[in-house]
A and B are shown apart, each in its own frame.
Chain A
Amino acid sequence: MRLTGRKSITRRLTLLFVIASSAVLLALGFVIASSVEKHFEQLDMEVLTGKMELARHTLEKLKSKDDLDRITQLLDNALVGHHGLEVIVFVPPHDVIFATPNANFPLDLMAASAAQSPYRPLTWTQGEQTYRGIAAELPTGISDLSPLIVAVATDIAHHQAFIRSFLQTLWVFVAGAAVLTGFLGWAAARRGLAPLRAMREQTQAVTAQQLNHRLPVESAPVELAELAQSLNEMLARLEETFHRLSDFSSDIAHELRTPVSNLMTQTQVALSRVRSADDYRSILESNAEEFEHMARMISDMLLLAKAENGLVVPTRETVSLATEVHALFDYYDAVAEEKGLHLALEGDGEVTADKLMLRRALGNLLSNAVRHSTANTTVRVTISASPDAVSIGMENTGDGIAPEYLERVFDRFFRVDPSRQRASEGTGLGLAITKSIILAHGGTISVASVGAVTTFTIRLPRAAGASELQKSAPTRRSIQNP
């Protein structure tokens, strides 16, 4: 996987790992550091309060002013042997009675602390040294002497040095850990995303020639299975469209082959010798018929192509189906009568639809029914309305359609009997056009055939699909023949 910087999942995961692990380690380090510091403070306090107690005892033992002279000795004895421990005893404000060599404490601070919160630890810096200490007012055994202020402090530089070095180590450790988790995270992410890379490689195998290729859904991790599924569905849709498109092209080529070949042969044979004017006329007439047929086929194919690409947008108006069917009966009346067919209509219903398109759809269907009916039978159209849909059934008695062909009667150029191809009538697109028009209206069409009786059933929604409502007038001409 390339780390192109732009929204790389690996990079993001790595970053998240680093941030998370650094945060946890830092928090841990600070907790440890602060508890160590607290521990040191406690230790110091034990020593300091102990010394303070000693000082108290010592001072209490003083009974007279003379004892004051011995104070240095007494305190020295009491406090001896504690390295780094400094003591100062003074009479407020600045009358120092006793002080160890380095005890140049800020006396005002000591006095204030002793007055307000005795025994509370104080920290201050003095020169290069940092001290932690406590101060208290301690009474002496001398009755006319006001209490003395005693401050005991210890140099905590070595504690601070320890904490500093601890924090330093912590920083180094966190930095190292960040780098390490970064690397591990990156490796984990890469490994975790391996199925994604595998998927990418799979998709690279998909080309126009190999649209049937599918991504393995079962073997994909749960998180990717849905994606793989969606991709597969997309591929299926693409494949279908692609096939339809290429079928379409080959259908056109195939269907044009016969008429073009006829025209070519006929014309070349005609030109191969001198003929009478009547012969020429007859050849030209035959050619004209052939051309007319081809022109129709082209315009029909164009309509279908548009319909399949969703470019046929019906205009909408209220259409009475009975009126339409009657008009069509009028149109096919002569043909039906010649065949001895009876055209019958039952029921009525209104739909919102494109009148011209609907007429064409029903016309193709009726034409089909009339053509495939046996003499002296009835073509029966039944319209029934429900609150939200209208269904139109068209039933005829004739050849019947074998079950294996039922699915295919709406296919372009499908003819049950291939030998009837290019019989005088029809481009073989009638039912395909009917279907595409019905679909463009949001309806459905189906066919059933029982014995000799074939029934087409159209279901149209009463109200128009909202999305198809807006376009108007000029579209309606698009289904007319030029």
Chain B
Amino acid sequence: MAAMKILIVEDEPKTGDYLKQGLVEAGFIVDLVRDGPDGLHHGLTEAYDLAILDVMLPGIDGWAVLAGLRRAGKDTPVLFLTARDHVDDRVKGLELGADDYLVKPFAFSELLARVRTLLRRGAKATAAEFLRAADLELDLLRRRVTRAGRRIDLTAKEFALLELLLRRQGEVLPRSLIASQVWDMNFDSDTNVIEVAMRRLRVKLDDNLEPKLIRTVRGMGYVLENPDCA
């Protein structure tokens, strides 16, 4: 996949810089502008795969930038960032054609996961039969998992969890995303549900075997990657 180009319009200096740094390090090409008019100008004159817009911007606000882009026929996916969590804001954003919405404070891993989801939206779903990492193989049709040729018994939810990790290999997945994708739970539990589930999956998958495929990224989430290829 060729490097994706992302436009960030964010006037808060630190937020802008860290978003840019984080996304660049995640392998994206990033343009960062600090105000609404610049953002609209960039959005109209260059081709981006995704735009990340702050709602409150000097000059013209995020809504107006989005409206300007849509009026000019640009269907660049747009992810809104806002410090306010008002239902009206969401409705307005969705009506104007925003694709997603993140309320500050958000975890960077969450932002990254959403960005990747939005970028993937356009791409064709791979109708693969097998998902693989190192010597781990997941058979989607027969719903079987083997590691180094040895069958591993997983519960239905563990299978779904592993499938998610494999489909998004190399991406750090925040707990909230895992809970939402695997269990359809859109709230953070007071209990360390994901940790326990992940620990149990890891025991079945990685115990006594090398390389360890599932890694905990403290403060961010979990990633499945083949350390030999990383």
Contact = CB atoms under 8 A, between A and B. Distances in A.
Interface string B64-84: 000000000000000000000
Contacts of B118: none
Contacts of A292: 107, 219
A360 B191 contact: no
A292 to B, nearest CB: 6
B91 interface: yes
A286 B219 CA distance: 7
A330 B219 contact: no
Interface string A304-347: 00000001010000000000000110111111001000000000
Contact of B190 (A286, A299, A364, A474): A364
A482 B193 contact: no
Nearest to A356: B186
B219 A477 contact: no
A481 B219 contact: no
A292 B184 CA distance: 21
Interface residues of B, number: 34
A58 interface: no
Interface in B59-118: 85, 87, 90-91, 94, 101-107, 110
A478 B184 CA distance: 16
A299 B191 contact: no
A190 interface: no
Interface in A258-278: none
Interface stretch (A1-9, A31-39, A103-111, A366-374): A366-374
Contacts of A284: 219
A364 B196 CA distance: 17
B143 interface: no
Interface in A358-403: 359-360, 363-364, 367-368, 370-371
- Per DSSP, chain A at the interface is helix
Interface stretch (A149-157, A175-183, A219-227, A423-431): A423-431
A146 interface: no
Contacts of B121: none
B196 A334 contact: yes
B187 A359 contact: yes
Nearest to A475: B87
Contact of A330 (B183, B187, B218): B183
Interface in B123-146: none
A288 B216 CA distance: 13
B220 A478 contact: no
Contact of B193 (A287, A291, A327, A335): A335
25 contacts: A285-B219, A287-B219, A288-B218, A288-B220, A292-B107, A294-B105, A327-B183, A331-B193, A332-B191, A334-B193, A334-B196, A356-B187, A360-B187, A364-B189, A367-B191, A367-B193, A371-B191, A425-B191, A427-B190, A474-B91, A475-B87, A478-B90, A479-B186, A482-B106, A482-B110
Interface of B: 85, 87, 90-91, 94, 101-107, 110, 155, 157, 176, 179, 183-193, 196-197, 200, 218-220
